[in-house]
Amino acid sequence: MARLPGTAGYGEDAEALTRQYEEVAFEEIHGDLLPWLPSTPGRVVDIGAGSGRDAAALAARGYEVVAVEPTAELRRIGQRLHPDAAIVWVDDALPFLAGLCGPFDLVLLSAVWMHLDELERVDAMRRVAELTTPAGCVAISLRHGPPPAGRRMFAVSAAETVALAEQFGLFAVHRGEGPDRLSRANVHWSKLVFRMQGRTVAKGKQ
């Protein structure tokens, strides 16, 4: 697959990025998500899986995991680091994910959404909704702050993301804010969890 605009800089920095990703545990990054993990056995897709840290942690919990990673360098590293994990690796990317077969009980988009421009986000949310089971969850983390040099990132608010998700039948059940776990200056995160069924009162910070 040709290099995509949103993946700029990741292949060149794959080894250094992997060291950063792997030094922080899944539970530390995704503590907000833990109460919303689906019952096992369940089917999970990690879109923008990077080094495979999250995919491997989810596989260890008993899920059937598909890891989608368009950057070949990161995908190869993930397969090397987590060879024993029950993960199916896929070379694909938002907004269309044409080669991905759903549905999934959990769709995880960690540090991915801000790489998409406004039109791409509409197409991507439509596709994410299509990939989610009727009772499934979608978890999105949004980075806020200045992007690293050479990276394609857009300023995307939690409110905008919640409103867009509702257009496709996904309603927020959790909204949280948190610091950057890699101690990067001027960076913080929004953590959002959506469900396909009904409007549920959101937990956490609004």
Q: What is the DSSP string of 54-100?
A: HHHHHHHTT-EEEEE---HHHHHHHHHH-TTS-EEEE---TTT-TT-
Alpha-carbon Rg of the chain, whole angstroms? Answer: 16
Q: Which long-range contacts (CB under 8 A, 24 or more apart) does 147-150 make?
A: 148/9, 149/9, 150/8, 150/9
The CATH homologous superfamily for domain 5-195 is Vaccinia Virus protein VP39 (3.40.50.150)
Scan for tokens 């700029």, then name that residue.
Answer: 8
* Confidence at residue 136, expressed as pLDDT on a 0 to 100 scale: 95
d(CA 192, CA 109): 10
d(CA 21, CA 77): 12
pLDDT tens over the chain, length 206 residues: 444 554 544 555 677 777 878 889 999 999 999 999 998 789 999 999 999 999 999 999 999 999 999 989 999 999 999 998 789 999 999 999 999 999 999 999 999 999 999 999 999 999 999 999 999 999 999 999 998 777 789 999 999 999 999 999 999 999 999 998 888 889 999 999 999 875 443 444 33
Yes or no: say if 138 and 109 are a contact pair by the CB < 8 Å rule.
yes
For 116-170, list the strands marked E by DSSP. Answer: 132-144
d(CA 101, CA 47): 13
Taking every pair of Cα atoms in the chain, the longest distance, rounded to a whole number of angstroms, is 43
Tell me the pTM: 0.88
Question: What ranges do the domains of the chain cover?
Answer: 5-195
d(CA 157, CA 169): 19
DSSP, collapsed to helix, strand or coil, labels residue 176 as strand
* Confidence at residue 9, expressed as pLDDT on a 0 to 100 scale: 44
